[in-house]
Structure 1
Amino acid sequence: MSSHSNEQLKDCPRSSAGQRQQQLLNRGWVFAYGDMPEAKEAAYDDSNWYTAGIPHSFGTPYFMENTFYVGYGCYRKRFSVSKEWLGRRLSLEFQGVFQEAEVYVNGALAGRHQGGYTAFEIDISSLVREGGNLLFVRVNNLWNPRLAPRAGEHVFNGGIYRDVSLIVTDPLHVAWYGTYVTTPQASSEEALVEMRTEVANRKGVPVDCTLVSTVEYEGRVLLEIRQTRRIDAYGQVEFLQQGMLASPQLWHPDTPRLYILRSCVYDGEGELRDTYETRFGVRWFRFDAHEGFFLNGEHYDILGANAHQDHAGWGDAVTRAGMARDVRLIKECGMNLIRGSHYPHHPHVAAECDRQGLLFWSELCYWGIGGANVEGYWSSSAYPVREADRAEFEDSCMRALEEMIRTNRNHPSIVVWSVSNEPFFSEPEVMDAARALTVRLVGHARTLDSSRPAAVGGAQREGFDTLGDLAGYNGDGAALYRDPGFPSFVSEYGSVIGDRPGVYAPGYTDGVETNPRWRSGKALWCGFHHGSIAGDMGRMGMIDYYRLPLGAWYWYRNERLGIAPPPPARRAGACALELRSDRREIATDGTDDAHLIVQTVDEQGRRVDLPAVVTLEVVEGGGIFPTGRSIELSTASLSFLDGMGAIELRSYYAGRVVVQASSAGLRAATLELEAYGEEAWAGQRVHMPEGPPSRLTPPRADAPADIALHRPVFCSSQAADSPAMHVTDARAATCWRPASGAAGEWLAVDLEGTKQASLAHVTLDLTPEEGWPPLELACSSDGRQYAPLPGVQRDDASVSVSVALPAEGLRYLRIRFPQRAAAVRAVSIWS
């Protein structure tokens, strides 16, 4: 490293707009379902295609159905290239396409990408021409046995569902996401800032390059370092620069202070060629096996929530405003962490956590789901069962990890790279390989970024918890692993199914309400309702799909911040609708929206709990709902509950937007918004689909399957060497033993959502001398109210009982010993 002055260098500008340009391409697309590769040609007629704005989902409008469209979708957009851009480097940046994309420019293949949750860049410099250009993107969301994720409980709608940008730079420029800032030594007195900056030279001749890096805080330059290196033709080098900051402004959720690194690239003639900005924070932290989590030298209790990315109607196609809203909702109830379940999220989520002050757990899409493993769909074995699929699958995991870390590594809010969620939901014959892949991923994460621990999320079965730097325990893991001897975290607890207004309670289980010193923290399952292929598992949020809180959210806010919950809705007397928005101005570039809330009120403006059907309609301007120019919210569809409903509105055209809310027998309400941007609304055609042409139903296993395998198990007590988890581990030699043989001991298996099953089978661990103790079998949908199961059949030869299960399904199966307890060897529930 060298630091020196160069009199030829011109002042580095205070804005990066001078040399590099980044232009959002979210507006003005057309879309069609199906595979039409011929649409890459300019002469193709797309006049019958749907109008679309990015972000866009195959599933829009989507409202938490368990089914979704699987297949191809094609996108076309025309964009302009100015004469001044020719000879520069032009690239397309896609923040996320689910899950395989082919990108064509002017009929020629520009590049491909596999993986639905990470950003990618494609160089199109040689394919563009001055004036009009055609961009065609061919997308599919087909289940791929060699591409992560192979399984998960979310939905897997396809589409270009995150932002698209055109990036124009000089051939000599900072590489895509090419900065990496760490503070390897930091205290409240001083901090060492280490800056690694990759600079690319896309010229055919070597270049002497000078990198000037300045660190700024609130407009003041605190540090400046200059370094010159020679870069070969079509080469790339990494500059390593270091400097000390005195009395640094520390980043903390209570004080989320951010610095700016400004990277200015000069050629050998002293001409400025590129300027690139990176926001970062100064903080230090550690997860300790016995003392928990420390931030900036002080013990810090983490309480957070898991968050999936999708929103009502729009599905996964969420605006940046919607992401910021989600972060704010978690922050406003007093929590301090978001676990990005269970895949890399848009980098803007972490940016909002940086800005608003939340820790972020960033997770890879190596993921499993309980129940019968069915190859060919997202309910398959998390790790491939076919040997021919394994190498490519592992490569896809490694590639996604690299892309997740590269695009998110400068966010101070991120304190964890998690490599998985519940990968033990793999077939038994590949469990060793699944563990070996986890070890590879942990090692690779450490190599890519040694400043953060590599966690194994959902590690409560099959020994996965010992494979990383931090173990994340889901479900019953909080009870199973008390002070495990290495850093640990409760990455999921709660799992309460409900709709607004919901239960005013936190959903705590198994003593998780207290944080022993050794536990780093805990995260509620989950923050928001979301789409799910697994029955009602999507309705477990403390905030519903429409971004309106349930009672649990108000409980946390009162407990953490001392803000009392609002009064309940009145039961009678509604006479009017009230319509409001969280903002009155929205941008038209696809990054913004307005959250509209409508409620039934009485003459005094107090909310009334009235079952209703409410229509929201855009009566003026270019605003759209996920269903088009109007949308219906109703009690029957769970979109208008407790006298209130909500939806997000966006516009891709500038001008005034007027929305009217109406419902039979109630006084209507109107709301006016202003959309700002380049193209004004003048009655342009808005042609949106009513929904995808078909939805794929999750397949069922060909043969009966034990859907209790590896599911959470809760109990009244357990012997230290015989925990409750043994009854669903499929091992003949293990069992659950209560801490005593007293009356009233019980054991309950949680299927993590209402499941259809025909038979439950329970095997006891008894000797002939002991004899059969009385036992009761009961089922429940919520874990609170249990209904006895009649007709229990006893088999003396196998020391087991079986019982037929109710046709309406169940979530919990409980075995209770009313007089004297016995050990239970196995519990199976057959679909």
Structure 2
Amino acid sequence: MIREIPYNENWMFTKNNEPAYAHERMKEGQFVSLPHTWNAEDGCSSDYYRGSCWYQNLLTVSPEDLTKQIYLEIGAAGNVGKIYVNGCLAEESRCGYAMFRANLTPYLKAGGNLISIMVDNTYDNEVLPLLADFTFYGGLYREVKLLMMEDLHFDVMDNGRDGVYFTQKKIGDRVFEWAVQGQVINELSPTTGNVRLLLRDHDGNVVSDSTSELEFEGVTPFELRGEIVDPILWHGVERPYLYTATITISAAGRIRDSRQIEIGFRTIEITTEQGLLLNGSPLKLNGVCRHQDFAGVGNAVTKSHMEQDIALIREVGANSIRLAHYQHDDYFYSLCDRHGLLVWAEIPFISVPSSKDPENQNAVEQLEKLVKQAFNHTSIYCWGVQNEITIAVETEYTHKTINKLVDLVNEWDPGRYTAQANINGVEDNSIINSYTDVVGYNLYYGWYYGDVQDLQKRFDSFHAANPDIPLILSEYGVDTNPKFHSYVPKVKDYTEEYQLMFHHNAIKAIHERPFVIGGYVWNMFDFGSANRKEGGETGRNLKGLVTFDRLTKKDAFYLYKAYWSKEPFVHLAGRRFVNRHQAQNDIMVLTNLQDVRVYVNNAFIARIQSDEAVKIVKNVLLSEGDNLVRVEGVDGRGSVCMDEMVLHRVYEPDESYIHVVEDQSKNVVNWFEKFDLSETEAVPLKDGYYSTFDTIEDLYSNEAAKAVFLKYFGHVTGNPFFEVTMNVMSIEKMAQLEFYKIVPELLIAMNKELNVIQKVEAETSDVQQ
């Protein structure tokens, strides 16, 4: 039988990258427990440490242990990991968010064995992600374990997790068919035996039983099938019922290996008329996105952290999660199974493809591990193959890679949907939108561009162009620092009040359109993003409904709870906007109760009876000094829900509530005004000469073309985004990004200067002619 042994303690760690540590004991270092990241403290700093670091442990093996097959399982190593056993390279991973294993057996000896693991989170153009709005933490940041197995066992080295793959589908009105397949590895001489599956319900009753007699020799594929009549269906958050499948290998009268898998029976259909149908019932996806990191520990989160996250997601009333932008810890997928949360799972094929590997083989590797390792999780309904991958460049290779990833998903797991998340700049009629079953758009109207109401217009224009393509709002949100407040919220003031307004508009836009399957709030929690400096904070993305430390629920959290949750509650918004310099104030109540009463200083002010989640008492007069505001609501059973806050009447605005923006007018906002852009008539572009359509890297290959670029864009060359994308980014692509603030006249002016500079290959061609 398999034994799983935790292997998380007494690891020696050092940032000193000494290759000799592959076979020599460390001369210096510190003891750490896993999970561990070396960026727990500096992960919110633009100069966070990225490099090669080493972990070491001593594994004592008895002669009896050497009769077993011993594997080391690494939960994840960010972003590259190499396992050495007594100086020999046993395994390597270039998928920084996936589990990987090493077969230690060939390298072990009786007694002490040196286990050395090199982990590296430096930039590598062939290891994804290359560029993203989150910190690339380094370390062995998930749990590690030893697997002690017999010579007859399930395949644990097929890039999967369980070595068995369970599927289910409805084949009749009351009947579901299940199937399980995989491979058995026999390390010794051929033998006969069987693979058996027992399916049990919550009470332990066997509801299905199937056995296959096999001859085990080398690698032996197997497949079992069965049926179950009238199963209790896994029905999301309302009823996340899971059966337990026990799959065993037996030979010579005893069990040699076994797996236990929690599995649910359910059907999912996605339509443009009714949205997503779960077991035939329409279900609007009330979703949130989640990054895996946590204040103080980075991405080295424990099961306790994950359980805390699930509790908050359940409290807000979400029924779905987009686990962005990479494979998450397997335990978190299990929590989603058990709590009924539908999951969009995805790989970090994000922002920028590899320029060194046009085939993007690393995307294929990460997709294979995601699909195979998370295959048995009932909660997953779709596999995401790309996120904003056209943000910097769009070439035939990008399209080929997306299609290749979709084809692979359909080969590995034809029972689930494929999905993608596009940047807003992807046109409604783009061919990219035909590649996946579901199309998501990350739309930030009212924050990075446009007005909040433009969201509704974009929904309608997309549906008009693609009436048969299911649409999901895959990201939307605004950065919010809960210490900032305003009576008149506006774009980029980072106030809780603007976040409320923004999200209220989005909730209505999604709800009013059946063809919008649902949406995913960006983000459930603030998260580490090392290169950010925004909203009064450094190194964090502040779009969360909850702060990075999970201690503060922003008012928008309760807005969603009012719309999504069935748990009765009342919440007074604006409780952190304590010092009020206006005498008359609107009191906003966020609640899922129909009947509420509002009191100020124990005096009854108003009763509101409505089904609206947002209830407002207008122009409430505050007295000088402290004012106690109380709201009471009565649920359907007569129980009273209550909330209180104190507002302080002052006579001058509290300046600490105002985000002070640095004056950028003299360098960035109108940087192009120093150039003569009066000649606005475009010229025909000649082949064989440089233009704004060439990549920055190509322009840099010619000194004259580089000089033209630096003349106009020298002020952005120190930007991390620019440095990572210059080998794939063109000036035309830069013009599509709000960050660079490029006007059309600038492109014309640059082309007039670039298109007279001949490319080297063109000159060579002329000579040959």
TM-score (norm 2): 0.69
1:514 corresponds in structure 2 to 511
Sort the Cα spacing of 1:153 and 1:168 in 2 relative to 1 into closer, same or farther, 3 A: same
Sort the Cα spacing of 1:709 and 1:509 in 2 relative to 1 into closer, same or farther, 3 A: farther
Sort the Cα spacing of 1:222 and 1:528 in 2 relative to 1 into closer, same or farther, 3 A: same
Whether contact under 8 Å (2:37, 2:137) holds in the other structure is yes
Sort the Cα spacing of 1:129 and 1:452 in 2 relative to 1 into closer, same or farther, 3 A: same
Query: Is the counterpart of residue 135 in structure 1 residue 141 in structure 2?
Result: no
1:560 corresponds in structure 2 to 564
Whether contact under 8 Å (1:223, 1:245) holds in the other structure is no
Shift of 1:563: 2.1
2:200 corresponds in structure 1 to 216
Please point out which of 218, 242, 247 is paired with 1:258. Answer: 242
Whether contact under 8 Å (2:34, 2:141) holds in the other structure is yes
Unmatched tracts of structure 2, length 5 or more: 157-161, 446-457, 484-495, 535-539, 580-627, 629-642, 649-655, 660-717, 750-769
Which residue type is aligned with residue 227 of structure 1? S
Whether contact under 8 Å (2:131, 2:721) holds in the other structure is no
Query: Is the counterpart of residue 499 in structure 1 residue 481 in structure 2?
Result: yes
Equivalent positions of 1:343-362 (< 5 A) are 343-362=326-345
1:443 corresponds in structure 2 to 407
Whether contact under 8 Å (1:34, 1:71) holds in the other structure is no
Q: Kindly provide the CA deviation profile for residues 467-517 of structure 1, in whole angstroms up to 9, marking residues without a partner as x.
A: 111111111664651252334333434321112263345625576343422
Which residue type is aligned with residue 145 of structure 1? N
Distance 2:308 2:731 in 1: 37
2:225 corresponds in structure 1 to 241
2:762 corresponds in structure 1 to none
Kindly, what percent of the aligned residue pairs are identical?
Answer: 22
1:194 corresponds in structure 2 to 179
Distance 1:358 1:425 in 2: 30
Whether contact under 8 Å (2:272, 2:514) holds in the other structure is no
Q: Kindly provide the CA deviation profile for residues 520-558 of structure 1, in whole angstroms up to 9, marking residues without a partner as x.
A: 111111111111245237111111111132111111112
1:396 corresponds in structure 2 to 362
Query: Is the counterpart of residue 96 in structure 1 residue 76 in structure 2?
Result: yes
Structure 2 residue matching 1:34: 3-state secondary structure: coil
Which residue type is aligned with residue 436 of structure 2? G
1:367 corresponds in structure 2 to 350
Distance 2:727 2:79 in 1: 31
Which residue type is aligned with residue 23 of structure 2? E
Equivalent positions of 1:713-728 (< 5 A) are none
Distance 1:198 1:609 in 2: 66
1:666 corresponds in structure 2 to none
Which residue type is aligned with residue 552 of structure 1? A
Sort the Cα spacing of 1:23 and 1:414 in 2 relative to 1 into closer, same or farther, 3 A: same
1:69 corresponds in structure 2 to 49
Shift of 1:700: 4.8
Whether contact under 8 Å (2:45, 2:531) holds in the other structure is no
1:78 corresponds in structure 2 to 58
Shift of 1:248: 3.1
Query: Is the counterpart of residue 542 in structure 1 residue 545 in structure 2?
Result: yes
1:231 corresponds in structure 2 to 216
1:453 corresponds in structure 2 to 417
Please point out which of 364, 372, 394 is paired with 1:406. Answer: 372
Shift of 1:410: 0.9
Distance 2:501 2:441 in 1: 22
What is the aligned-residue RMSD (CA, Å)?
Answer: 3.2
Structure 2 residue matching 1:110: 3-state secondary structure: strand
Distance 2:645 2:43 in 1: 25
Whether contact under 8 Å (1:174, 1:197) holds in the other structure is yes
Structure 1 residue matching 2:206: 3-state secondary structure: strand
Q: Kindly provide the CA deviation profile for residues 178-208 of structure 1, in whole angstroms up to 9, marking residues without a partner as x.
A: 11111122677332111223222122x2222
Whether contact under 8 Å (2:231, 2:265) holds in the other structure is no
2:149 corresponds in structure 1 to 169
Query: Is the counterpart of residue 423 in structure 1 residue 389 in structure 2?
Result: yes
Whether contact under 8 Å (1:291, 1:519) holds in the other structure is no
Distance 1:706 1:367 in 2: 14
Sort the Cα spacing of 1:312 and 1:259 in 2 relative to 1 into closer, same or farther, 3 A: same
Sort the Cα spacing of 1:541 and 1:569 in 2 relative to 1 into closer, same or farther, 3 A: closer
Distance 2:240 2:732 in 1: 43
1:23 corresponds in structure 2 to 5
Distance 2:111 2:727 in 1: 61
Of Structure 1 and Structure 2, which has the larger fraction of its residues in helix?
2
Distance 2:193 2:647 in 1: 67
Unmatched tracts of structure 1, length 5 or more: 1-18, 369-381, 573-601, 611-634, 639-695, 712-727, 730-749, 764-794, 799-831
Distance 2:11 2:373 in 1: 26
Please point out which of 318, 321, 325 is paired with 1:338. Answer: 321
Shift of 1:291: 2.6
Whether contact under 8 Å (1:570, 1:607) holds in the other structure is no
Distance 2:277 2:733 in 1: 32
Sort the Cα spacing of 1:705 and 1:439 in 2 relative to 1 into closer, same or farther, 3 A: closer
Q: Kindly provide the CA deviation profile for residues 430-455 of structure 1, in whole angstroms up to 9, marking residues without a partner as x.
A: x1110111000001001000110111
Distance 1:299 1:79 in 2: 53
TM-score (norm 1): 0.64
Sort the Cα spacing of 1:465 and 1:199 in 2 relative to 1 into closer, same or farther, 3 A: same
Structure with higher RCO (Cα < 8 A, 6+ apart):
1
Distance 2:335 2:731 in 1: 39
1:524 corresponds in structure 2 to 521
Query: Is the counterpart of residue 105 in structure 1 residue 71 in structure 2?
Result: no
2:279 corresponds in structure 1 to 296
Shift of 1:609: 11
1:463 corresponds in structure 2 to 431
1:35 corresponds in structure 2 to 17
1:481 corresponds in structure 2 to 462
Distance 1:107 1:437 in 2: 37
Shift of 1:335: 1.1
Whether contact under 8 Å (2:181, 2:221) holds in the other structure is no
2:259 corresponds in structure 1 to 276
Shift of 1:457: 2.0
Sort the Cα spacing of 1:136 and 1:188 in 2 relative to 1 into closer, same or farther, 3 A: farther
Please point out which of 552, 555, 566 is paired with 1:551. Answer: 555
Whether contact under 8 Å (1:294, 1:300) holds in the other structure is yes
Shift of 1:241: 2.5
Distance 2:525 2:732 in 1: 27
